[in-house]
Amino acid sequence: MSELRAAGVSISSDHVTLVNEVTAVFPSGRWTTIVGPNGAGKTTLVEALAGVRSVTRGTIFLNDIALSSLSERERARNIAFVPQHPVIPFGMSVRDYVALGRTPHHSLFGPPTSADEEVVVDVLVRLDLLGLSSRAMHSLSGGERQRAVLGRALAQGTKIIILDEPTTGLDVRHQFEVLELLRREVDHGGVTIIATLHDLTLAGQFAQDVVLMDHGEVLLSGPAKEVIRSPQLAESYEMTLRVVDVDGSDVIIPVPRDR
């Protein structure tokens, strides 16, 4: 079981409340997407869930353990975090970058073990990156780079992966490729995914559960189809949204104000 839970979590910065009294459960082995307009507090919340941002009040629990009580290494063995704009050392190869995910599993100055090498190769094969393993990260296309970034997270071997806008800058084809890779990890690997997404249609298609935030608060959470079709979604974006069923998937169409 790998479940994250936020209990009365508030986060402030420079006397501004970014997240206000959020209580939410992110179930084990399921995909939860956090949606909401700009400034809703989505990125702040996922950073706190990943343990890279401190909370002002409340507690985040990993199963029944307070996340703040774990060391950085212990958190990294349980939770992988992919920020929207990851720092990638210039000139680093794909293989070496993916191998960074194994860092929490061996001593700081110790060499990778044969088990580490096996994990890295397995991830490269699963993400179709083996043929690119010697390429420099900066030489990759956007879709290839995002697969490598995901590869580093998968190499950590965690049961929870948290991603902040994983499809940023990708075209439609590569957005689907990345999200389908993640969905396979949920369906076949039992991984818990927590992601933020701006694209409401993609959120509804890939997530099992959706959390709707606005002004730092959770307005609604539940099964994706219910949240996507709720009146609160349109209200939070202050616009009319039409939901159309296309081959069993909900497609969200914004309606111009003058229509």
- Looking at residues 141-154, what average pLDDT do you find? 93
CA 146 – CA 167 distance, rounded (Å): 8
pLDDT in tens, 105-137: 876 667 778 889 999 999 999 999 999 999 999
Q: From CA 88, how far away is CA 138, in angstroms rounded?
A: 8
Domains and CATH numbers, the chain: 4-255 (3.40.50.300)
H or E segment at 81?
strand 79-82
Note whether 106 and 120 are within 8 A (CB).
no
Burial class (CB in 10 A: 0-12, 13-18, 19+), 61: middle
pTM for the complete prediction? Answer: 0.94
Residue positions counted in the chain: 259
Average pLDDT, the chain: 93
CA nearest to 84, candidates 34, 20, 10, 130:
34
The predicted structure's pLDDT at residue 106: 78
Span 164-176, average pLDDT? 90
pLDDT tens-digit map of 217-239: 999 999 999 999 999 999 999 99
Q: Express each pLDDT in 20-55 by its tens digit.
A: 999 999 999 999 999 999 999 999 999 999 999 999
Measured distance CA(49)–CA(25) in Å, rounded: 11
Q: Would the pLDDT of 259 be above 60?
A: no
